[in-house]
Structure 1
Amino acid sequence: METKAWTYEEFPEYTEHVDGATMVDTTGDEIEVKYLNDVPYETEGGVELHLQLLVPVTRNGLDGPLPCIAFVKGSAWRKQKMYVLIPELARIAQMGYVVAEVEYRPASDAPFPAQIVDTQNAIRYLRANADKLGIDPEKIIVMGNSSGGHCAVFASFLEAGGSAIPDVPCGVRGVIDLYGAVSLLADDSFPITSDHHTPTSPEGILMGGADMRDDMKLREKGTAACYITPELEIPPVLVVHGTKDRKCNTRQSVDLYRKLLACGKDAELYLVRGADHGGAEFYTDYMLGVYDGFIRRCLK
């Protein structure tokens, strides 16, 4: 047989009958995920920030450009561990979405709203480079878990400033908030396993090392629901929270959902029975179907 750089279409298929062998049919539409790691999208204060890109591909090729999910990995606003959710995010990408996991500056280096600014600049980067990345700039969803949920919700409406790409918008079509740390309001009196208001707490560091125990105004500044009014423009929001979350009390998500509804906004709430702060319960086939259905509704 001739040795040359065969294309897939040119390469001859093996067709010999083999007794006892089972032939497995394929369609060419089976989706695999290509992983592009540490793609720089911005430099802030001399620190390069990156995206982890998960791109769905098939043998036949997907009809593009593709919708994109900007996913903000939670970290209690500390330095993120950017690789631990790649398997779960790959399952989302297999539904036909480009997933861009967003790195933000830790709050110890840059307090609120720096993480919102970084999330919005990541979205601007995705829009500005849509052709190169094969995504539709008008079909972007922002999604996040824990502190990343806080970023995702805020990034969908807050005029945070600090645009790294002038004249490129950072609008999104929908928000998915997974057990987000979206409220700084409640006193540390409900069942919880960590402190949320002292200067050394994650929320205290987020707000510049502040002692928020007697500072309700500062708590409100970092609470998404305090910004929501009937006049505020915000895309549809899907809120998901476990009923046994030991780090971010479920009431945060319930309060956000109720405030959105009270202000006439499009919101859905899913309470995952028995789930703690994250875990496999949020990436079951059922929950992936919930996310997929919500995204497709937002993109219609």
Structure 2
Amino acid sequence: MTICMILKKIVTSGYILAIVEYLPIPAAQFPSHVEDAKTAVRYLAKQSEELRIDSSNMFVSGDSSGGHTSLLCWATWNSTDLDTDSTEPLPDVKAFLNFYGVTDFTTIADYRSNVPHDSPTSPENLLLGDFLSLNDQEKALRASVRYYLNKETTYAPLLTMHGNKDDVVPFEQGIELQKRCLDLGLDSTFYCIDGAGHGGPAFYHEETVEEVIAFLKKHTDSFSV
């Protein structure tokens, strides 16, 4: 099963997919990508009638850097954090999905990886303005999901899928986040893709796709194809 077949299977299950592009690095830096994603969701909600979108059943998802974007949207959706581009309230989002995204920039370099995450030319440093190689832990923390999680805030359900052979974003990143969510009593589901690396065919397996669709349907109100 290819990525195109996955998208087709999700669409034929009754969902509309909108692929959001955000400003690229190094021209844009944190939190530009999160603000761009929130702006896109606002646009889709506003244009829902024209685009024939059910704005009462919206989801946000991303893989790799998009997973990090989705996670930061999830963690700040019910606050004003990382949302300086607009004072307009964000539309309701039923749930968020994270596929092998970075969860904590303060620990990512601690684990084995084929990517030197704390080097000046790493994607993380280009995104964060060289926070990691300069050892700016405060700024690195502000770009990490756990910085925005607490027991007082309400968060939408979250699904995380991560391969335990990921050699780009260490599998431990997903484990760290899930432990934090469990400690806070959050509605978070963690799905280990056994033997999978950073994306690849294992994520396109029919069983994996069915898990994604089941998660979407579980959190969709009055859903019918």
Give me the TM-score of the superposition, normalised by structure 2.
0.89
Q: 211-220 or 143-152: which moved more?
A: 211-220
Letter in 2 for 1:262: D
Runs of at least 5 residues in structure 2 that lack an aligned partner in the other structure: none
1:211 Cα shift? 4.2
> Higher strand fraction: Structure 1 or Structure 2?
1
Number of aligned residue pairs: give it.
216
Q: Which residue of 2 aligns with 1:105?
A: 23
Pick aligned residue for 1:167 from 84, 88, 91: 88
Pick aligned residue for 2:123 from 202, 205, 208: 202
Contact 2:66 2:101 in 1 (8 A): yes
Q: Which residue of 1 aligns with 2:56?
A: 138
Runs of at least 5 residues in structure 1 that lack an aligned partner in the other structure: 1-83
Q: Which residue of 2 aligns with 1:124?
A: 42
Q: Which residue of 1 aligns with 2:10?
A: 92
Contact 1:147 1:182 in 2 (8 A): no
Contact 1:153 1:177 in 2 (8 A): yes
SS at match of 2:17: strand
Contact 1:120 1:155 in 2 (8 A): yes
1:258 Cα shift? 1.1
Larger RCO (CA within 8 A; separation ≥ 6)? 2
Contact 1:157 1:233 in 2 (8 A): no
2: CA distance, partners of 1:279 / 1:297: 26
Q: Which residue of 2 aligns with 1:229?
A: 150
2: CA distance, partners of 1:228 / 1:189: 22
1:86 Cα shift? 4.6
Contact 1:120 1:170 in 2 (8 A): no
1:214 Cα shift? 2.4
Letter in 2 for 1:297: K
> Higher helix fraction: Structure 1 or Structure 2?
2
Identity of aligned residues (%): 28
Contact 2:72 2:145 in 1 (8 A): yes
1:89 Cα shift? 2.3
Structure 1 residues 270 and 290, CA gap change in structure 2 (3 angstroms): same
Letter in 2 for 1:126: L
Encode CA deviations 1:25-46: one digit per residue, 9 max, x unaligned.
xxxxxxxxxxxxxxxxxxxxxx
Larger radius of gyration, structure 1 or 2? 1
Letter in 2 for 1:264: G
1:161 Cα shift? 2.1
Question: Is 1:149 equivalent to 2:67 in the alignment?
Answer: yes
1:240 Cα shift? 0.5
Q: Which residue of 1 aligns with 2:178?
A: 257
SS at match of 2:155: coil
Q: Which residue of 1 aligns with 2:162?
A: 241
1:233 Cα shift? 2.1
Contact 2:178 2:190 in 1 (8 A): yes
1: CA distance, partners of 2:42 / 2:108: 36
Question: Is 1:278 equivalent to 2:196 in the alignment?
Answer: no
Contact 1:173 1:299 in 2 (8 A): yes
Letter in 2 for 1:152: S
SS at match of 1:99: coil
Letter in 1 for 2:60: V
Give me the TM-score of the superposition, normalised by structure 1.
0.68
Encode CA deviations 1:144-177: one digit per residue, 9 max, x unaligned.
001100001111232322446x635243110111
Contact 2:119 2:125 in 1 (8 A): yes
Contact 2:112 2:167 in 1 (8 A): yes
Q: Which residue of 2 aligns with 1:46?
A: none
